[in-house]
Structures are given as C-alpha cells and as structure tokens.
Amino acid sequence: MQIIEGAKKFDVAIIPIGGGTSAGIVGQNLERLLNEKGFTCGHEPDSVEFSTLGGWVATRASGMKKNKYGNIEDLLVHVTLITPQGYIRRQCQVPRMSSGPDLHQVVLGSEGILGVVTEATIKIFPKPEVKKYGSLIFPTFRHGVNFFREVARQHCECASLRLVDNEQFSMGQAMKIDDGSLFQGLRRKMEKLYVTSWKNFKVSNLKNEEVPLSLDP
C-alpha cells in the first residue's frame, strides 16, 4: 500500500513485477504445479508462458479451453485489488444482485488503470485422464466456418476448437523447431505428400477467402 501511495504522491506509473508468487505467478508455472498434484486450472491463453494470474484478471483474459472451463471471470472466486484509495476485496462467486454497481466487473478488465491485483483465488479441476487432439483440413475457409457452426448446433463439448487461415498456419509451421529426428522428419514429409499429392489439397486455396456474416449450411 505504501508503494501505491508513493506512486500517487509523486505521479509515478507502476509496472507490477513480483517474485512469481501469489497473483504474480506465471501461468505455465501455475499449471505445472497443479499438474503435479493431479489438477489443472483449465485456463490457457496464448500468452500462458509469459502472463500471470493477476494479469489474467486485469485483462479479463480468455483461454483456448474456455468451452469447457470458462473464461477467467468464470474461474475467479476471490480477488484483492490495491488502489490509491485503499483495498478492494471481492468474493466473486456469489448470487446475482440487481442493486448497485458491481465492483467485480470494475476489477476484471481494469488493465491496471484502477489498481494492482495482489491476490486471486480461482477454481481448479481434476486433471483429465486422457487428452485427444486432432486436426482437419478444409478446402476453403468457408467450409471451416460452416463446420464450426455445425459443431455449435450439435452442442459438441470440445475443450478447444480453433480455425486458422493459410497465413497463420504457415507461420505456425515455420516456427516449429526441428527435433533432429530422422523418423519425425520423414513422417512430416510423408504427411505433406499425402495431403498435397494424394488428396490434392492446395494450401493456396485458403488465401483471400471472403467469409460473409451469414453462411449457408
């Protein structure tokens, strides 16, 4: 609190960088520690290896597995925010009220403007016994969007679904690190040959595909 008061007095901006504990713990470290105990927090934003628990709250973060576990506002149980005027402590998992402003919503997504998140309690879940991953290739981006709409219509409960265009896919492939394994290298070449030569899939088909707001099934 003294640091906040000093920053207010001298009009100095604060960039919170802690020791990696409490609300300052980095996402991937939190997940690793939970996994060792047989649990998971279920929150996996793209920045999980850099961002912190407090940062998730301050930015109202969303993760790739939100379909199953929810966004950070769904996981948050209790939060403490230090402001120039004092502490804001909120019990977040309470019955809905129709009267007065909701300070819970003030804290979430505040982006550090109103104060610093120093404590956060979130839900955790049992670690899944099995994880299954798969990928599909669509001839055009339009087909991919229609597939996603059908998944939603059928209420398929996938933990994560992501549709990428050609540029994002190519960037992801370019950033992969070669493990140096002869077998893996041969396997990747065979996979590419199967998709492009046997299935006649053209990567360039995904480029510049316009997707209207309303699509036919």
Is 20 marked within a binding site?
A: no
Is 33 marked within a binding site?
A: no
Is 50 marked within a binding site?
A: yes
Is 83 marked within a binding site?
A: no
Is 94 marked within a binding site?
A: no
Is 47 marked within a binding site?
A: yes
Helix/strand/coil percentages in the chain, nearest 5 = 40, 10, 50
Measured CA angle at 190 (ends 187, 196), to 5 deg: 140
Is 120 marked within a binding site?
A: no
What kind and span of H or E run contains 27? helix 27-36
Is 116 marked within a binding site?
A: yes
Is 51 marked within a binding site?
A: yes
Measured CA angle at 58 (ends 53, 60), to 5 deg: 90
CA distance linking residue 203 with residue 167, whole number of Å? 10
CA distance linking residue 106 with residue 117, whole number of Å? 12
Is 59 marked within a binding site?
A: yes
Is 195 marked within a binding site?
A: no
CA distance linking residue 82 with residue 84, whole number of Å? 7
Is 114 marked within a binding site?
A: yes
Is 111 marked within a binding site?
A: yes
Is 5 marked within a binding site?
A: no
Residues flagged as binding site for FAD: 46-52, 59-62, 111-117
Binding residues: 46-52, 59-62, 111-117
